[in-house]
Chains A and B, each alone.
Chain A
Amino acid sequence: MSIWSRLFHRREMDAELDEEIRSHLSMAQRDRMDRGESESDASINARREFGNVLLVKETTRDMWGWTVVENFTRDLRHALRQLKKHLGFTAVAVGTLALGIGSTTAMFSVVKGVLLEPLQYRDPSRLFLAYARFPLLTWQKGPVNARHFHEWRTRCRACEFVAMVDGVAFGVAGRGEPRGVAGLRVSANLFRTLGVVPALGRDFLPEEELPGRSDVILISDALWQELFGRDPSALGQTLNLDGVPVRIVGVMPASLHLPKGAEWGTLIGMTQKPEIFRPLGLDVSQARALGAFDYISVVRLKKDASPREAQAEMSALSGELVRPFKIEVGAVLAPMHDEVTGGARQALLLLLGAVGAVLLIVCVNIGNLMLVRTSARYREAGIRIALGAARVALFRLVLCEALVLIVLGGVAGVGLAQLGVRAFVAAAPVDVPRLDEVGIDWGVIAFAAGSAAVAGLVCGLFPAWRLSRTPPLHSVKSASPQSTEGRSKLRLREWMVSAEVGISTVLLIAGGLLGLSFLRLIHVDKGFETEHIITQAFGLTSTKYRADDVQFRFLDRMMREIDAIPGVEHAGLTSQLPLRGESFIDTLQDFNQPAEAERRPYSANYRFVSADYWRALGVPLRQGRYIEERDYDRNVVVVSDKVVALLWPGENPLGKHLRMLTLVRNPVGFEPKRLPGGDIDFHAMEVVGVVADTREGALNREPPAVVYAPYRFQAVGWGSFVLRTQGDPVAAISQVRAAIARQDPEMPLPPAETMEEILDRSVAVRRFELNLAAAFGVAALALASLGIYGVISFSVTRRTPELGIRIALGASTGKLMASVLRQGMMPVLLGMAAGLVAALMLGRLIASQLYGISANDPLTISTVSGLLLLVALGACWIPARRAARIDPVRTLRFE
Chain B
Amino acid sequence: MTKRYQNRIELLQGTLDMLILQTLRWGPQHGYGIAAAIRAGSQEVLQVETGSLYPALHRMEKQGWVKSEWKQTDNNQRAKFYNLTAAGRKHLAAEQSRWHQMTGAIAGLMNRGEA
A: residues with CB less than 8 A from B are 16-17, 19-21, 23-24, 26-28, 30-31, 50-52, 55-56, 59-60, 62-65
Contact = CB atoms under 8 A, between A and B. Distances in A.
B79 interface: yes
Contacts of B54: 17, 20-21, 56, 59-60
Contacts of A26: 77
B62 to A, nearest CB: 7
A16 B58 contact: no
Contacts, number: 58
A60 B55 contact: yes
Contacts of A50: 50
Contacts of B58: 60, 63-64
A31 B35 CA distance: 13
A63 B31 CA distance: 16
A46 to B, nearest CB: 10
A63 B30 contact: no
B75 interface: yes
A23 B62 contact: no
Nearest to B60: A63
Given A23-B80, A24-B31, A26-B77, A51 B50 contact: yes
A26 B33 CA distance: 12
Nearest to A46: B32
Given A20-B31, A23-B30, A62 B77 contact: no
B32 A24 contact: yes
B114 interface: no
A17 B49 CA distance: 16
For the residues of B in contact with A, the DSSP-based class is: helix
B55 to A, nearest CB: 5
Given A19-B80, A20-B80, A59 B75 contact: no
A26 to B, nearest CB: 6
Task: Indicate the member of B30, B36, B50, B75 with the most A CB atoms within 10 Å.
Answer: B50
Contacts of B77: 23, 26-27, 30
Nearest to A6: B62
Contacts of A28: 32
Nearest to A57: B54
Contact of A27 (B32, B59, B62): B32
Given A20-B79, A51-B49, A65-B62, 20 more contacts: A16-B80, A19-B80, A20-B31, A20-B54, A23-B32, A23-B79, A24-B79, A26-B77, A27-B30, A27-B75, A27-B77, A30-B75, A50-B50, A51-B50, A52-B51, A56-B50, A56-B54, A59-B51, A59-B55, A62-B55
Nearest to B63: A63
Contacts of A21: 50, 54
Given A24-B32, A51-B49, A51-B50, A19 B55 contact: no
B15 interface: no
Interface string B50-80: 1100110011001000000000010101111
Contacts of B75: 27, 30
Nearest to A31: B36
B81 to A, nearest CB: 10
A26 B32 CA distance: 10
Given A59-B55, A60-B58, A63-B59, A23 B78 contact: yes
A60 B54 CA distance: 6
B17 to A, nearest CB: 12
Contacts of A64: 58, 62
14 contacts: A19-B78, A20-B54, A21-B54, A23-B78, A23-B79, A24-B79, A28-B32, A30-B77, A50-B50, A51-B49, A51-B51, A59-B54, A60-B58, A63-B62
Interface string B2-24: 00000000000000000000000
A765 to B, nearest CB: 67
Contacts of A60: 54-55, 58
Nearest to B80: A20
Contact of A63 (B33, B55, B80): B55
Contacts of B62: 63-65
A60 B31 CA distance: 13
A16 B61 CA distance: 14
A382 to B, nearest CB: 24
A368 B55 CA distance: 43
Contacts of A27: 30, 32-33, 73, 75, 77, 79
B63 to A, nearest CB: 10
A30 B78 CA distance: 13
A17 B31 CA distance: 11
A24 B50 contact: yes
A23 B73 CA distance: 10
B1 to A, nearest CB: 10
A64 to B, nearest CB: 7
Interface in B81-100: none
A894 B30 CA distance: 56
Contacts of A56: 50-51, 54-55
Nearest to B58: A63
Nearest to A34: B75
7 closest A-B pairs by beta carbon, nearest first, are A63-B58, A63-B59, A23-B79, A60-B54, A27-B32, A24-B32, A20-B80
B55 A24 contact: no
A6 to B, nearest CB: 10
A26 B77 CA distance: 9
B19 to A, nearest CB: 17
Contacts of A30: 75, 77
B92 to A, nearest CB: 19
B83 to A, nearest CB: 15
A52 B55 CA distance: 14
Contacts of B31: 20, 24
Contacts of A31: 36
Contacts of B80: 16, 19-20, 23
Contacts of B73: 27
Nearest to A64: B58
Task: Indicate the member of A17, A23, A26, A28 with the most B CB atoms within 10 Å.
Answer: A23
B28 to A, nearest CB: 14
